[in-house]
Structure 1
Amino acid sequence: HISYVPQLSNATLAGTVTQSTFTLEQPRGQFSHLNISDFDAIWLVVAHSDATQNFTAPQRVKDSPVPADFPQEGYYLTLTAKRALYPGGQLGNQLRVLRVGNNTHCSPRTRGCNHPLPGPGPYQVKFLVMSDRGPVADTEWSSETHLQQGCPRAPEHGHCGHHYHPVSPAGHPPHRPPGPAHLHLVRGQGRDHPGPWERYNTCGSMPISGPGESVGVRRYNTHHMFSPPAVGGS
């Protein structure tokens, strides 16, 4: 057992909790236990709070529920990673976070899909380490997270939802210099990027990220909204 409690991101950024997502601190340096291999998969278990008391870890990942089963089963697994993506040590001026519920492009019937959360919750999460032989280790459950019921403030463009901006090879929206008032997503090994588009959170301006990505902490003011090209994902 790992005596670590998953935490909501403590960064002072808009969008830590939205109507369908919430943002966690990455569990850096928590998986150095001798029983854990570099090849073991580290999953995030997302559960309804009332399902945590009777939760039993699946013996095989392929036997775990998919997001479409969430209402009936009470939990699912998502955001798989290896411990190399969660090293210890200082990050300097970079912030590494996990955005739960950020993938609108994968099917909720796909195992591991990080699908938008279906309601206000409350939800709790824990990290579960799985090998080919079954569960290896797990963390404590997080405290309860309640999602937003509506926009915390009037959106700049009059509606809620995920906002998309095209990004140039330099990593910032065209016709907008990077400057000190910029939120920039450093691309990593995550699988949830919608191609050359940066996706921003509901009613705010923080770009999303997965286990292999980091976010530079600055401020970004939105401008024109665009519709992204259709992208498949799993």
Structure 2
Amino acid sequence: CQAERGQVPEGRGALRWGGRCPLKRINYVPQLSSATLAGRLTQSTLTLDQPRGQFSHLNISDFDAIWLVVAHSNATQNFTAPQRVEDTPVPADLPQRGYYLTLMANRALYPGGPPSRQLRVLRVGNDTRCSPRTRGCNHPLPGPGPYRVKFLVMSDRGPVAETEWSGETLLQQAGALQAAPGSQSAGTVVIVAILSVLLAVLLAGLLALLIYTCYDTCGSTPISGPGESVCVRRYNTHHMFSPTAEGGS
């Protein structure tokens, strides 16, 4: 509304944010990235398309902050837009409030125009270095969800506009990596069992060959201990003595 921009007389101040002017509703639904990306969904992150060209409304200025609201799907009805930047919920508030704000930007970062070859996405939960108690921290998501997100525009006077909520997004879970039950799982078990038997037979054959080789070698070669004396007969071949020496003896 015009009141929050200071465009009405002071006598009508009841229309300011104390009177809760309705937010401008932007007809846009945040979407998961359609690009083929490694890690589009992980156990702690999700990837969104950038909301390009969605904030060109006259009530939105280049200086207004555009926040991404991340919420548990069952907490969207309880969401209340903060009236001051100082009241912005942080990731550490998610367990209690059910939502928080992150990835602050402005509309200059989301320009319209034809699509370019450059990939423009938002990776939610991608910053492991910031504290979850820091305003705007893009901390990893703490659980599988499901989550819903929307964009909220705030000026220095309070909220200005918001998009629609996205659909539910469920992150990957460790259990999803396990084989599904059924005939395919039974076949996998049979293959693993056969390979295990073959490996055991191979190891047994190698062990038997090693024992046989050692026994054959040790049984045919006498080995003297350190306390035994070994007599060696000295033998000189005839060509070691010259004929002259033999004649003079």
TM-score range, shorter chain: 0.5 to 0.7
Aligned counterpart, 2:168: 144
Q: Distance in 2 between matches of 1:99 and 1:151?
A: 23
Alpha-carbon distance, 1:91 to partner:
3.4
After TM superposition, list the pairs within 5 Å mapping 1:63-102 onto structure 2: 63-102=87-126
The alignment partner of 2:100 has SS state of strand
| CA root-mean-square deviation | 1.5
Q: Distance in 1 between matches of 2:128 and 2:32?
A: 21
The question of 1:122 aligning with 2:170 is answered no
Point out the structure with the larger strand share. Answer: 1
Instruction: Return the structure number with greater relative CO, CA threshold 8 A, min gap 6.
Output: 1
Aligned counterpart, 2:21: none
TM-score norm. by structure 1 comes to 0.64
The alignment partner of 2:104 has SS state of strand
Letter in 2 for 1:102: N
Aligned counterpart, 1:62: 86
Q: Distance in 2 between matches of 1:19 and 1:79?
A: 19
After TM superposition, list the pairs within 5 Å mapping 1:1-234 onto structure 2: 1-150=25-174
Gap runs ≥5 in structure 1: 155-234
TM-score norm. by structure 2 comes to 0.60
Give the greater-gyration-radius structure (CA). 2
Letter in 1 for 2:63: F
Letter in 2 for 1:49: S
Alpha-carbon distance, 1:153 to partner:
6.2
Letter in 2 for 1:75: Y
Q: Distance in 2 between matches of 1:51 and 1:151?
A: 25
Alpha-carbon distance, 1:53 to partner:
1.1
Letter in 2 for 1:65: P
Q: Distance in 1 between matches of 2:170 and 2:155?
A: 31
Letter in 2 for 1:109: R
User: After the TM superposition, which parts of structure 1 deviate over 4 Å for at least 4 consecutive aligned residues?
Assistant: 151-154
Post-superposition Cα deviations, 1:175-209, rounded to whole Å, max 9, x if no partner, equal xxxxxxxxxxxxxxxxxxxxxxxxxxxxxxxxxxx
Letter in 1 for 2:156: D
Alpha-carbon distance, 1:92 to partner:
2.6
The alignment partner of 2:174 has SS state of coil
Letter in 1 for 2:95: P
Gap runs ≥5 in structure 2: 1-24, 179-249
Q: Mark the CA change 1:98 to 1:128 in structure 2 (over 3 Å): closer, same or farther.
A: same
How many aligned residue pairs are there?
154
Q: Distance in 2 between matches of 1:13 and 1:4?
A: 23
Alpha-carbon distance, 1:94 to partner:
1.4
Point out the structure with the larger helix share. Answer: 2
Letter in 2 for 1:67: P
The alignment partner of 2:47 has SS state of strand
- Stretch deviating more after TM superposition (24-33 or 47-56): 47-56
Q: Distance in 2 between matches of 1:54 and 1:110?
A: 22
Q: Distance in 1 between matches of 2:176 and 2:117?
A: 27
- Stretch deviating more after TM superposition (15-24 or 54-63): 54-63
